[in-house]
Structure 1
Amino acid sequence: MMPSQSLETYLQAAQRENTQRSYASAVRHFEVTWGGLLPATTDTVAQYLVAHATALSTNTLRQRLAALSHWHQAHGFSDPTAAPIVKKTLKGIQALHPVREKRAEPLQLTAVAHVAAWLDTAIAAADLRGDSAEALRCRRDRAMLLLGFWRGFRVDELVGLQTEHIVVVPGQGMTCFLGRSKTDRQLAGTTYRVPALSRWCPVTATLDWVSHAGLTTGPLFRSVARWGALGTGALHSNSVVPLLRRLFTRAGLASPETYSGHSLRRGFAGWANANGWDVKALMEYVGWKDVHSAMRYIDGTDPFAQARIERGLADKITLHVGHDDG
């Protein structure tokens, strides 16, 4: 009989790795950086919020409270973050220090096409001079760019993909099974269908990377060393945004620093919305569970209502002129 896994192994597996890291960092900030004692009292937690009311955003403070709540529950203590004084303190901070929500700059399809064309040229040049490492990196980056855009993936979803979970469906595209994701609360895994396209094809780009990298199992997207050796582990999610920004800089995109880990998803959502996708279809394709999440990524085709108002003005002027003529 195979030895069973420990209880701690399963408990850790129930929580996403990113969540584990962020919770550990938050608890460390409370205990080491700020000097709070664990287990904490409700007054101490409230004072912690006050001490960071202007330095941290409300969303960050909520994340810190979630981490402290998790620590207390995991260690068998009552949860001080659930106390009314803590909730009122957070509400007061939000009222007195409102913060404008930061939204990722969408990567438009025109920019995707520009970067993809630059990568095609870079790959051809690297192949010609025998620079296998540069050619591999460019093929990886092209696959990440096109797969990330056309599937609306977040960075953590891209780096979570496994080579053995990619299945080609001839004439249609390919499927990608993702074992864990932020929206998969039940940890059941999700299968995404990726279409084969006539231009800027994510399937062709992905299979080209897999073939040249010689991948059969393990993380789909990984590091490429100076001489072309592949890393064994997946790219870290925190490294992908700097990687993409360097790529955008080399390709000549304006203001590459404005793009974030949500730019690919937001760019696709905007493209789909502009091309007539209804919200329900977009939610099903991307994997959003509620309309609020979807609308955060969509800028309407007339965000300032300028066109609608101008049409109304034109109608009023036409009616007025017609009345005067009468």
Structure 2
Amino acid sequence: MSQSRYLAKQAPQPQVPDQYYSEQNLPASILSDFQQAAAETEFEVTANTRRSYQTSFAIFQGYCEHHGINALPADPRAVISFIGQQKELFQENGCQLSRQTLTTRLAAIRHYHIEAGFKSPTDHPMLLRIMRGLSRNHYRVQADYDQQPIMYHELAMLLECVDKQKHPLLACRDRALLTLGFQGGFRRSELAGMQVQHVSFLRDKLRVRLPYSKSNQAGQKEWKDLPFAEPMACGEFIKAWLDISQITSGHLFRSISRDGQQLRPYQLKDATDPASRNSGFLNGDDVYRTVRKYCKQAGLGEQWFGAHSLRSGCVTQLHENDKDTLYIMGRTGHTDPRSLRHYLKPK
């Protein structure tokens, strides 16, 4: 036997434990520390993802209750049957549920099983084969269009409609919202969550810091520089909004009273008070409705546009302006150039 083989044979082999070591009795003195650490799992997924999971899992629970089977833990065959029922559903627009929607249903089932300490039935080989087949099934009736991009021409039409607003405060806010969303290629959740302290006015550009984003869940340093010299630049509109609203801290885009004369009272949820809630600032749905409202007024056809049209338009317009892929990724925050293929429309 060679020396190397002999040494390898004599070396201690790593032991893989079947289960974690468990104390028979944990002292009560560490209970509060354990609960403090466990509370951080609330932020493991975003609030929007958690709501989406709750909705999807409730649908799965309803299916299981209807057929008298267990939802948690669930038999893989129950999950397969559920997907079989869901993939045949037709929505009001005459289309079947997309593969992405079905994937979200499965992600919710997986999330709640792992959270409860059960093996996820969504890992079953048969289910994986079914989802691969769904992605290649060309015969399903699915929506075949995305939200159309808002580019310079469309944005100019929207701003003309904003200018017709009879309430100066509302018009000022919406100009800032639309132009910032377009120039920065922001998602609606990023616009809704933006804080005044995230915005800095430099000599020739507006710098916007993003503490968190869809592609930056861990809170790494991320910012966008938006030049004042670009067409449809947002800098002057953001400054005008801050001047007229007198906002100095907190959320950038606030709710406005029905008469359009003043900001609504601003309040953030108090963690120590279960009855408290967030109020006084826009959420993602408000951003979506704002874009759709002005698209309808401009005669663009509101069914083709939404909040994502601002982000899509940013990518498409920069592509039209002959900016390279790295420049566009720096503006939008994409981390994979392949993700841009969906946005880059032919010139």
TM over 0.5: yes
Q: 1:281 deviation in Å?
A: 1.7
Aligned equivalent of 1:284, options 315, 322, 330 = 330
Q: 1:47 deviation in Å?
A: 0.8
Aligned equivalent of 2:51, options 10, 21, 25 = 21
Whether the aligned pair in 2 keeps the contact of 1:225 and 1:231 (CA below 8 Å) is: no
Q: Does 1:163 align with 2:196?
A: yes
Supply the AA of the counterpart residue of 1:196. Answer: F
**What SS class does the counterpart of residue 335 from structure 2 fall into?**
coil
For residues 31 and 6 of structure 1, do their structure 2 counterparts lie closer, same or farther at Cα, with a shift above 3 Å needed? same
Q: Does 1:242 align with 2:272?
A: no
The two structures have a TM-score, normalised by structure 2, of: 0.77
The two structures have a TM-score, normalised by structure 1, of: 0.81
Q: Displaced runs of 4+ in structure 1, greater than 6 A?
A: none
In the TM superposition, what whole-angstrom CA distance separates every residue of 1:111-155 from its partner, at most 9, and x where no partner exists? 112222332353xxx4xxxxxxx2211111111110011111111
For residues 161 and 189 of structure 1, do their structure 2 counterparts lie closer, same or farther at Cα, with a shift above 3 Å needed? farther
Q: Which runs of 5+ in 2 are unaligned?
A: 1-31, 90-96, 267-278
Q: 1:33 deviation in Å?
A: 5.4
Q: Which runs of 5+ in 1 are unaligned?
A: 127-133, 302-326
Supply the AA of the counterpart residue of 1:237. Answer: G
* Percentage of identical aligned residues: 26
Counterpart Cα distance in 1 of 2:36 and 2:294 = 43
Q: Does 1:230 align with 2:264?
A: yes
**More displaced stretch, 16-25 vs 223-232:** 223-232
Counterpart Cα distance in 1 of 2:53 and 2:212 = 18
For residues 187 and 42 of structure 1, do their structure 2 counterparts lie closer, same or farther at Cα, with a shift above 3 Å needed? farther
In the TM superposition, what whole-angstrom CA distance separates every residue of 1:243-283 from its partner, at most 9, and x where no partner exists? 21112223x23212210221011112111111111122211
Structure with more of its chain in helix, by fraction? 1
Supply the AA of the counterpart residue of 1:206. Answer: I
**More displaced stretch, 7-16 vs 91-100:** 91-100
Counterpart Cα distance in 1 of 2:265 and 2:145 = 33
Q: Count matched residues.
A: 287
Aligned equivalent of 1:117, options 153, 156, 160 = 160
**What SS class does the counterpart of residue 186 from structure 1 fall into?**
coil
Q: Kindly report which structure 2 residues correspond to 1:103-252, keeping only aligned pairs within 5 A, or say none.
A: 103-122=146-165, 126=166, 134-169=167-202, 171-197=203-229, 199-227=231-259, 228-232=262-266, 233=279, 234-250=281-297, 252=298
Counterpart Cα distance in 2 of 1:6 and 1:135 = 47
Whether the aligned pair in 1 keeps the contact of 2:172 and 2:237 (CA below 8 Å) is: yes
Supply the AA of the counterpart residue of 2:130. Answer: T
Whether the aligned pair in 2 keeps the contact of 1:160 and 1:178 (CA below 8 Å) is: no
Whether the aligned pair in 2 keeps the contact of 1:69 and 1:81 (CA below 8 Å) is: yes
Whether the aligned pair in 2 keeps the contact of 1:181 and 1:189 (CA below 8 Å) is: no
Q: 1:189 deviation in Å?
A: 4.9
Whether the aligned pair in 1 keeps the contact of 2:161 and 2:294 (CA below 8 Å) is: no
Q: Which residue of 1 aligns with 2:112?
A: 71
Whether the aligned pair in 2 keeps the contact of 1:42 and 1:80 (CA below 8 Å) is: yes
Counterpart Cα distance in 1 of 2:38 and 2:252 = 28
Counterpart Cα distance in 2 of 1:24 and 1:57 = 19
**More displaced stretch, 144-153 vs 285-294:** 285-294
Q: 1:231 deviation in Å?
A: 4.8
